[in-house]
Amino acid sequence: MAKPYVNLLPNSNLVLNSTPNKVSLTALPPLALYIHFPWCEKKCPYCDFNSHQIKDSVSKAGFDEDRYINALIADLETELANTWGRQVHSIFIGGGTPSLLSAEGMDRLLCAVRARVNLEPDAEITMEANPGSIEADKFAGFAKAGINRVSIGVQSFQDEQLKALGRIHNGEEARRAIAIALKHFKSVNLDLMYGLPKQTLELAKADVETALSFKTPHLSFYNLTLEPNTYFANFPPQLPNDDEVDAIFEQNLDLLTRAGYKRYEVSAYAQKNQECKHNLNYWRFGDYIGIGAGAHGKISYPDKITRQVRERHPETYMQAMESKGNALIESKSIEAKDLPFEFMLNTLRLTDGVATNTFSERTGLPLNVISKGLSEASNMKLLDENPSQLKATPLGMRYLNNLQEMFLD
């Protein structure tokens, strides 16, 4: 019979605090780098990310590439003192649509990163791309610059549903973009959505089967939700009801499982050993430098864990870097009382969870500060009874928000 969580003792090599008001880390977590590119060709009506539609008046590309890259490089330099000597294990260039950058610009950016940080030799370097911005020659240049993983925002292969989502590409362009990416990159992820306007089980199945036909090592499936401050929030489309969405999800999961993909996170599926290393670092409560307009960062120190936020608008961000040499609008330590919820909010998204001692390793707090929540969640069959793992049960994954909220206090 498994031991209850309240009796679980921390590893003997961990030095824990006697009070939850003080953070004491015996080792720093893995470190990643996130680079935000804030422009896109068109703002999608469901998107609540920090993205801004490009305007042709600035340059041929619609944005001042050199000026923004200069700001990114200067921004990275402001973080070197906070992460000195630590190795960077992965880079993720997100947006917006980073593939709007030129291959030359990408090469300049990544060369500058390598010159300033201790980058792991075989680091995963991901770039997000939209099908409409994919060109064969340009992608060959991205690969030469060092990009080894691409995440393509397909969303659907159905022209009518792409139109309903406000996407600027069609199904044929999506197929062509995937074929180009597979020729140039070691790993390719396809982002797709389900629960789309007027989506049926048949249409959802067609999307999954089309995606599977490319045999990409990684797939992401997101349920379309109406986020605040988006066009869809103000003018909601007709979406499938909850029962229909559940049926689509179960169908997707069955199709992907039978095709050899494992659901390793709420919305992420991968073939064996093809999980996204960068996102795993987020979900395991690792550290990450965040540079670029609106970027967020998380940096740990022996006695504190900090979060940072940068200027959100690209023009304001660049002006701040040029005039002050710093674009931070917020940098604060996470209070010890908030760390348990932040940790569980991330780690419980993983279907395999994390080792229980990871809690103390990554928060610097003793496990007993969450013993009440662990016991209650286990009793409600939301948390696996194995005391060596912090892992949601299938029921817990189904009611993940409720499970995570049990650690708010």
Is the same domain home to 189 and 59? yes
Is the same domain home to 238 and 364? no
Question: Residue 329 has what pLDDT?
Answer: 97
CATH at 352: 1.10.10
Q: Is 16 a residue whose pLDDT tops 90?
A: no
- What gap in Å lies between CA 146 and CA 70, rounded to an integer? 19
**Residue 23, helix vs strand vs coil:** coil
Could you give the count of Cα atoms lying within 13 Å of 264 in the half-sphere of its Cβ?
20
Q: Could you report the per-residue pLDDT of 144-189, keeping only the tens digit for each?
A: 999 999 999 999 999 999 999 999 999 999 999 999 999 999 999 9
Mean pLDDT (whole number) for 179-202: 96
Is the same domain home to 55 and 197? yes
- What gap in Å lies between CA 99 and CA 37, rounded to an integer? 9
Q: Could you report the per-residue pLDDT of 67-95, keeping only the tens digit for each?
A: 999 999 999 999 999 999 999 999 999 99
Query: Is position 57 within any domain?
Result: yes
Residue 317's identity, in one-letter code, is: Y
Is the same domain home to 53 and 10? no
Assigned token pair, 394: 């299938």
Is the same domain home to 157 and 134? yes
Query: Is position 258 within any domain?
Result: yes
Tokens 């610059």 correspond to what residue?
145
Is the same domain home to 10 and 104? no
Q: Are 329 and 297 in contact (CB under 8 A)?
A: no
Structural domain tally of the chain? 2
Q: Is 57 a residue whose pLDDT tops 80?
A: no
- What gap in Å lies between CA 169 and CA 337, rounded to an integer? 46
**Which of 178, 190, 360 has the alpha carbon at shortest distance from 276?**
190
Is the same domain home to 69 and 11? no
**Residue 280, helix vs strand vs coil:** helix
Q: Give the count of beta carbons closer than 10 Å to the beta carbon of residue 19.
A: 9
CATH at 259: 3.20.20.70
Is the same domain home to 12 and 66? no
Mean pLDDT of the chain: 92
Range of the domain at 193: 31-283
Is the same domain home to 79 and 46? yes
Strand partners, 51: none
Query: Is position 80 within any domain?
Result: yes
Q: Could you report the per-residue pLDDT of 208-219, keeping only the tens digit for each?
A: 999 999 999 999
Q: What are phi and psi for residue 140, nearest 5 degrees?
A: -60, -40
Q: Is 61 a residue whose pLDDT tops 90?
A: no
